[in-house]
Amino acid sequence: MADHYEALGVSKDASAAEIKSSYRKLARKYHPDVNPGHEDEFKAISLAYDVLSDSEKRRNYDMGGGENGQGVPAGGGFGGFGDIFETFFGGGAGSAGGPMPRTQRGKDALVGVNIDLETAAFGGNIDLDVTTAVVCDTCSGAGTQQGTSVETCSLCHGAGSVQRMTRTLLGQMVTNQTCNSCHGFGTVIPSPCLNCQGDGRVRKQRTMKIRIPAGVSDGTRIQLSSQGEVGPGGGPAGDLFVEVMVGRHEVFQRDGDNLRASVSVPMTAAALGASIPFDTFDGSQELSIEAGIQSGTVVKLPGLGATRLRSETRGDLLITVDVMTPDKLDDEQKDLLSQLATLREEETPRAQITTQNRGMFSRMRERFAGR
């Protein structure tokens, strides 16, 4: 019969602390995960510790009650699983990391804001109404009524968890469970604040001024640090994310860093050329219409577009010209146009077809025709 004292390398009058210390050293040395091939040694020291660490089993063992100290052969396996976990993981099985703090960081919040195209293109300050959790102004985040305070939980004694010990075929198992009385905080609030019900925060609408940076577009998110939800117990606030939604403009459309618009000019102005005023975000500008301009021509006003995000440079303003053909003419106007057509030899107009993408067979026919 193996001697448990010899297995642990201690004397028969060794104290409980000496037995535990020796077992930890040997368990680290012979554990199969650390040192494969020494399963028998590990089994022996585990069985020895299971017997000698229990005062009743040790007394029966010293009186000759059998290997396991209870007068029956040991059932194999490893005893004292709680101590094995403590040896390798610094605590009993299911060991908790201590009570949770009541004061915690708040969650981030996301809100949407509608802005006009001019604010998106050039930036600006706006007022934003947002409803989030703020510190309770009655208890200043403490969660308690005036004159009272939190108290240590009488069930877990401030640990935030309680231990449950069970015996299994593998030995003694110790697990930690969240305390049902304090819900893991280790403290209870006997007299919660009537305004926040002990949470230390309440939901409230507030108005804040925010700066919209120049160059944002639809869907851009602006992060405002520490402007989100205040945490439980009046903890630090999370961040607030503002998602921009840009409204339509009656004149201009956004095209990346450029702005686009359209202008209609009379046929005579298109034929003769003109300079017409055009209202932009930068004030009135002179738009030069060259003589003979065609409908669909794009006129560029450099540097009058939107500001590039995180930059001081700007895109261009692109204006598409739409030439208006008169549809209501009196007899005198018709006569004048007929005279113009005669002078330009356009009495019988002939269509000029321009093909943008001619096929290979069309080009071959033109080549064989000598064109």
CB-based contact 179:153 (threshold 8 Å)? yes
- HSE value, Cβ hemisphere, 13 Å, CA-based, for 118: 8
Asked whether residue 14 is assigned to any structural domain, the reply reads: yes
Both structure tokens of 92: 């009993």
* 319 carries a ligand binding annotation: no
Contact indicator for 78, 170 with CB cutoff of 8 Å: yes
Binding site annotation covers 179?
A: yes
Q: CA geometry: angle at 148 spanning 147 and 149, to 5°?
A: 135
Instruction: Measure the CA–CA gap between 180 and 298, rounded to whole angstroms.
Output: 73
pLDDT interval class at 79 (50, 70, 90): very low
65, 89, 113: which is the final residue of a domain? 89
Write out pLDDT tens, residues 12-54: 888 888 888 888 888 778 776 566 777 778 888 888 888 888 8
Average pLDDT over residues 131-139: 96
Last residue of a domain, one of 89, 117, 144: 89
How much is the pTM? 0.62
75 pLDDT tier (thresholds 50, 70, 90): very low
Which CATH number is 75's domain given?
1.10.287.110
Angstrom distance (rounded) from CA 363 to CA 101: 81
Looking up residue 334, the CATH number of its domain turns out to be 2.60.260.20
On whether residue 79 sits in a domain, the answer given is: yes
From 39-48, 53-62, 64-73, 107-116, the region with the lowest mean pLDDT: 64-73
Give residue 158's pLDDT band: very low, low, confident or very high (50, 70, 90).
very high
Is 140 assigned to a binding site? Answer: no
- Tell me the C-alpha distance between 118 and 254, whole Å: 10
pLDDT confidence bin for 302, thresholds 50/70/90: very high
196 is in an annotated binding site: yes
Work out the average pLDDT over 83-96. Answer: 42
Range of the domain at 25: 4-89
Q: For residue 40, what pLDDT is reported?
A: 79
> If pLDDT is split at 50, 70 and 90, which confidence band does 171 have?
low
Is 182 known to sit in a ligand binding site? Answer: yes
Least-confidence region, from 117-131, 154-168, 246-260 = 154-168
What's the whole-number mean pLDDT along residues 247-268?
96
Ligand-binding annotation for 136, yes or no, is yes
Tokens of 165: 């010990």
Considering 89, 121, 155, which residue would you say is the last residue of a domain?
A: 89
- Would 319 be classed as within a structural domain? yes
